[in-house]
Amino acid sequence: MTSRPWRATSSSAGSRTPNGRRPENAAFAGRGKSSRKASADPAAGRDASTASACRRERRPKRVAGDIARKVLIAGATGFVGGRLVRALLKDGETVRCLVRDPEKPAAWELEAAGAELWVGDVTDATSLEGAGRDVSVAYFLVHSMAGGEGFAERERQGAESFARMAKREGVERLVYLGGLGGESTSEHLRSRHETARVLAAEGPPLTYFRAAMVVGAESESYRTLRYLVGRLPVMVAPAWLRTPTQPIGIDAAVEYLRRAPEVPEAAGREVQIGGPDVLSYDEMLDRMAAAMGKRPPLRLRVPLLTPALSSLWLGLVTPVDTKVARPLVEGLKTTTVVTDPSGAAPFGISPAPFDDVLRRALIEENEGFRKVGHG
């Protein structure tokens, strides 16, 4: 493992390793090696019928003599990022994770799985110096809605700093996961598209994946559906419950991300991805109820319920943070379906139906599945 200078940010300058000494490099090499054996995959041994939530041709494993890439992931402690880390490590890739605080449990999980840690913040260009050294592919999976007001500017600034660093340090490809949807009044969706524009303008060739909701155990969309069905026999039904969307399972989404560097046609272009089902949120609630073996909640139509009131309502009955709920609700008023499947065609991936994705997520949740980087 190559040693890199450990760079402290204002939030981590005083942090120490478990033995009380200050970390000496970005990879924290000593601690990581000792903890890898203890990192068992809780999903191992799961029934084969539920082991794969997207139908795809298996890729050959790396063999001796293959040259593994070094991959940099910003946003590795998030839902999608953590799953991607696990998948790439399983492929034999060397994974470097950009983290703001190396002492958080999510960062410890990444390192225990075998990833390198680089301490930095995408909005602090100085902390990124050297993060892209020897890296072939860099993933930008950072979203800032949880920080509240001003998230769009933070995302734009972070994308600019990250892209410029990647280009300066010789990274060959950038990969970003944004949202589907055309022109929208949603700041959340506009910010996703602006982030892609900045990455493409300032960095190496970009593969810009666009998806609607990504569904899996621990995703906000899955948890919202499950809590609404599980807690409310009767619920208000805003107009946005009838908006069409095209959800995709987390396994298929990660498969697209991991294959991006291997698909030459994906360099410098947009790739719209989605599952086989186009559904309204009303229909997804019914499907969730069926998967849970419950009666679907009775809906009381309230067409004039504003995004602000909707987000407060969601905050009361689901675990979604109201700072996240409001921009999400504003985005739910926009149709988010695949309009151009040509970018996804060369990948040869057939995402699983929504019902299968829900069953997989429920099984993982019931078994106490812990993904790398959750937190």
Name the stretches of the chain with pLDDT < 50: 1-66, 145-148, 370-375
pLDDT at 182: 74
- The answer to whether position 327 is within a domain reads yes
Report the predicted TM-score, pTM, of the whole model to 2 decimal places: 0.79
pLDDT at 225: 87
pLDDT at 34: 33
Residue 304: how many CB atoms within 10 A of its CB?
A: 7
The 3-state secondary structure of the chain reads CCCCECCCCCCCCCCCCCCCCCCCECCCHHHHHHHHHHCCCCCCCCCHHHCCCEECCCCCCCCCCCCCCEEEEECCCCHHHHHHHHHHHHCCCEEEEEECCCCCHHHHHHHHCCCEEEECCCCCHHHHCCCCCCCCEEEECCCCHHHCCCHHHHHHHHHHHHHHHHHHCCCCEEEEEEECCCCCCCHHHHHHHHHHHHHHHHCCCEEEEEECCEECCCCHHHHHHHHHHHHCCEEEECHHHHCEECCEEHHHHHHHHHHHHHCHHHCCEEEECCCCCCEEHHHHHHHHHHHHCCCCCEEEECCCCCHHHHHHHHHHHCCCCHHHHHHHHHHHCCCECCCCHHHCHHHCCEECCHHHHHHHHHHHHHCCCCCCCCC
CATH number at residue 176: 3.40.50.720
pLDDT at 369: 55
Domain that holds residue 166: 65-366
- The answer to whether position 230 is within a domain reads yes
pLDDT at 63: 35
Q: Is 301 exposed, middle or buried (0-12, 13-18, 19+ CB in 10 A)?
A: exposed
pLDDT at 184: 59
pLDDT at 186: 65
pLDDT at 231: 82
Reported as a single tens digit per residue, the pLDDT across 303-335 is 666 666 666 667 667 776 666 666 666 667 788
- The answer to whether position 114 is within a domain reads yes
- The answer to whether position 157 is within a domain reads yes
Reported as a single tens digit per residue, the pLDDT across 141-151 is 987 544 446 66
- The answer to whether position 48 is within a domain reads no
Reported as a single tens digit per residue, the pLDDT across 46-102 is 343 334 444 444 343 443 334 567 999 999 999 999 999 999 999 999 999 999 999
- The answer to whether position 38 is within a domain reads no
Indicate the number of domains in the chain: 1
pLDDT at 366: 84
- The answer to whether position 6 is within a domain reads no
- The answer to whether position 371 is within a domain reads no
